[in-house]
């Protein structure tokens, strides 16, 4: 058995309540906006859509993450958290995930 490359996960495989690593293209980005934090102060949030050959999924970036990508960028989400947002899956980086540009 070959080692090195992780098993391929696709957007169609994503399920809320799980962590996933996958590659996709940034299909759409909304403008960043300021939101109040529970702990006081504000932070930026930015919503968008990721796409691969199997479908699309919503994603959200917080704080310093909002400026990491532009529409059309190819990205790898590493250990992204999949949550249920308004009845549909949404990806965020959570506490341990990260966004890479392969």
> Using one digit for the tens of pLDDT, what is the confidence trace for 75-96?
999 999 999 988 999 999 988 8
- Would you say residue 21 has pLDDT above 90? yes
Task: State the Cα–Cα distance between residues 67 and 44, nearest whole angstrom.
Answer: 10
Judge contact between 78 and 10, C-beta under 8 A: no
DSSP code, position 48: E
Would you kindly state where each structural domain of the chain is located, as residue ranges? 11-100
Its pTM stands at: 0.88
Written as one string, the DSSP assignment of 56-72 is EEEEEEEGGGGGS--TT
pLDDT of residue 7: 61
CATH of domain 11-100: 2.40.50.140
Stretch (H or E) spanning 79 = strand 74-85
- Would you say residue 17 has pLDDT above 80? yes
Q: What is the pLDDT of residues 22-62, one digit of tens each?
A: 999 999 999 999 999 898 999 999 999 999 999 999 999 99
Task: State the Cα–Cα distance between residues 63 and 80, nearest whole angstrom.
Answer: 16
Task: State the Cα–Cα distance between residues 36 and 58, nearest whole angstrom.
Answer: 21
- The sign of the CA dihedral 6, 98, 17, 66 is negative
Tell me what the pLDDT averaged over the chain comes to: 91
DSSP code, position 73: -
């Amino acid at each position: 058995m070959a080692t090195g490359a992780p098993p391929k996960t696709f957007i169609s495989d994503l399920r809320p309540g799980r962590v996933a690593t996958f590659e996709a293209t940034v299909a759409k980005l909304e403008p960043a906006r300021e939101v109040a934090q529970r702990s006081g102060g504000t932070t930026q949030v930015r919503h968008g859509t990721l796409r691969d050959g199997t479908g699309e999924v919503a994603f959200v970036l917080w704080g310093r993450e909002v400026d990491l990508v532009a529409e059309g960028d190819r990205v790898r989400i590493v250990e992204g958290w999949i949550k249920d947002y308004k009845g549909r899956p949404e990806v965020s980086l959570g506490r341990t995930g990260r966004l890479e540009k392969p």
